[in-house]
Amino acid sequence: MLGFLRSTILSKIVMAVSGAALVGFLIAHLTGNLLVFAGPEKINAYGQGLRDLGPLLWVLRIGLLVAVALHIISSIFLADKNRTARPVSYSKKKSIQSTIASRTMLFSGITILTFVAYHLLHYTYGIVQPEFYHGEYMLHDGRTVHDIYSMMIHGFTNPFITVSYVLAVTFVCMHLNHAIASAFQTLGFNHPKYNAKIKMFGVGLSAILWVGYLSIPAGIMAGVVKLIEGAH
């Protein structure tokens, strides 16, 4: 199954396809999380809706896990190959037209990975802030569900969590600033008529994701999103 690792080009293609799946996840995840602005009812019902997917949720989770695994395996293989390709470094080396984002993909990737692990420990496993993990919320239809809304607010009231989140989102968007346009090239799509648009799409989408993800802590800190009295 990992035969693609024999070829740098196939590894890059796996990287691009798995990366594209992860970009899809980031868009979906943001769309869901923005419901926090619609109040506790909406976002908690959405969270419950995800849980109600049952086996389908597991299909999505496993798909995501496979994409992450493939992305990381190929990045390790390629990074190792790239390192050994230049055993003696230059005493003076200038980059000519490459961007910083393109030269630091491994670094931004590892930063993202570290944050994702922490993020899962926080919101999925409830290990980071266990005191806020078991909150319950009663939906209008009478069902009692996991209170995501207050958990998010408690998270972003903690300065350490907020700062690490802001940094991580920034690194994700730096990664994507290069990655999205890069994936088109890797998959063989390069045309003078569309190149400028592809680049704009990559930069634009990463900027939208950045603003979107950061609007949540911003909204909470600005008091637009706040705890509802008596709901907790």
Which window, 33-41, 55-63, 95-103, 137-145, contacts other proteins (CB under 8 A)? 95-103
By CB under 6 A, is residue 15 in contact with ligand HEM? yes
In this structure, the number of other CB atoms found within 10 A of the CB of residue 65 comes to 10
The residue (of 181 and 216) whose beta carbon lies closer to other proteins is 181
**Residues forming a β-bridge with 105:** none
Compute the chain's Rg from CA coordinates.
20
Which class for 7: exposed (0-12), middle (13-18), buried (19 or more C-beta within 10 A)? Answer: exposed
SS3 145: strand
By CB under 8 A, is residue 95 in contact with other proteins? yes
Alpha-carbon dihedral angle through residues 167, 173, 175, 178, given to the nearest 10 degrees: -150
The residue (of 18 and 150) whose beta carbon lies closer to ligand HEM is 18
Site string for ligand HEM, 109-128 (x = CB under 6 A): xx-xx---------------
By CB under 8 A, is residue 10 in contact with other proteins? yes
| Chosen from other proteins, ligand HEM, none, partner binding at 109 (C-beta under 5 to 8 Å by type) | ligand HEM
Which class for 232: exposed (0-12), middle (13-18), buried (19 or more C-beta within 10 A)? Answer: middle
Query: In 3D, which of 117, 121, 125 has the Cα closest to residue 72?
Result: 117
By CB under 6 A, is residue 12 in contact with ligand HEM? yes
The residue (of 12 and 122) whose beta carbon lies closer to ligand HEM is 12
Min. distance of Cβ 4 from other proteins in angstroms? Answer: 9
With CB under 8 A as the rule, give the number of residues binding other proteins: 42
The residue (of 7 and 144) whose beta carbon lies closer to other proteins is 7
Separation of first and last alpha carbons in the chain = 49
Q: Can you give the binding site for other proteins, defined by CB under 8 A?
A: 6-13, 78, 81-99, 102-103, 105, 178, 181-182, 185-192
